[in-house]
Amino acid sequence: MSQSALPQIPRREIFGVPVAILSKSEALDIIVDGLRNSRPINVAFANANLLLKARRDPLLRRQLDGMLVLNDGIGVDIALRVLYGERFPENLNGTDLTPELLKRLPNRTPVFLYGSRPAVVSRAAEILRQKYQSEICGVCDGYCDNPDVAVDAIKRAHAKVVLVALGNPKQEHWMSEKVSACGVLALGVGGYLDVETGRVNRPPRWLQKAKCEWLFRITQEPSRLWRRYTIEVLYFLAAVAFDRVKISSPWGSLRREL
Ligand code: UDP
């Protein structure tokens, strides 16, 4: 899908990835309108971790270029401030935005869940049906070796929306390579199904408001996340500072003009 499939929306490039500058309601309007007008889009939630991966991976950058990329977390906000002197209107992570979207979908929109562990995705289907009256038309866990199994199941279920919970960048690759074959709205939601089923807990509101959710997440999955929230955060900030210097140097401006 090319960016021309997306309406003209303000974006800023961070590490070569165009991140949209939108409030939550603007983002939801764009997503729902795309679905209503049969021009479904792929939605990615870019946290510092995904942007760092994109910085090193031209294929991922190209794939994200065709998606609606929303800002997830304090790291991306810092990057926007340092690089452009601007702020995002709101933090738009998948765990908060997805339930809002489910509530706003037209009645009986068929939603497919792809990804996470088998027990989690089945339980998530029950929970989403009860909590948001979602029409869950099928599920497929994220540990099958053949990604086409999910594509076939999505087509058979006549899904219109797919929540893709494979972690990044696997979910962004899958959405970019496979979803056009299905003609659906796809969102890369990471650990959202884990949160809905209670496999992973969210921190108290005050910690979320203080933008310190990452501190709590380390305590939940220390072996997987400690590196991401220590070494990689420092690396991310250093890369932002490096790009800032490059933009403001005469050499940087010259390169951008060429
Ligand atoms: N996951 C999956 N298949 C894989 C790897 C991961 O379905 O091959 C799922 C995993 O079970 C979890 C989610 O992807 O539900 C990981 O999401 P999270 O946001 O925690 O990871 P991140 O995107 O932050 O790396």
Q: Whose CA is nearest to atom 15 of ligand 1?
A: 116
Q: In whole angstroms, what is the distance from residue 76 CA to residue 46 CA?
A: 8
User: What is the tens place of the pLDDT at every residue in 112-145?
Assistant: 999 999 999 999 999 999 999 999 999 999 998 8
Q: Whose CA is nearest to atom 3 of ligand 1?
A: 142
User: What is the tens place of the pLDDT at every residue in 67-112?
Assistant: 999 999 999 999 999 999 999 999 999 999 999 999 999 999 999 9
Average pLDDT over residues 165-188: 93
Tell how far the Cα of 104 is from the centroid of ligand 1, in angstroms. Answer: 25
Domain limits, the chain: 9-245
The pLDDT of residue 4 is above 60: no
Q: In whole angstroms, what is the distance from residue 213 CA to residue 218 CA?
A: 9
The pLDDT of residue 15 is above 60: yes
Q: Whose CA is nearest to atom 25 of ligand 1?
A: 167
Q: In whole angstroms, what is the distance from residue 247 CA to residue 166 CA?
A: 34
- Residue in the block written with tokens 């496999």: 199
What pTM does this model have?
A: 0.92
Q: What are phi and psi of 192, to 5 degrees?
A: -55, -40
Average pLDDT over residues 165-189: 94
Tell how far the Cα of 176 is from the centroid of ligand 1, in angstroms. Answer: 17
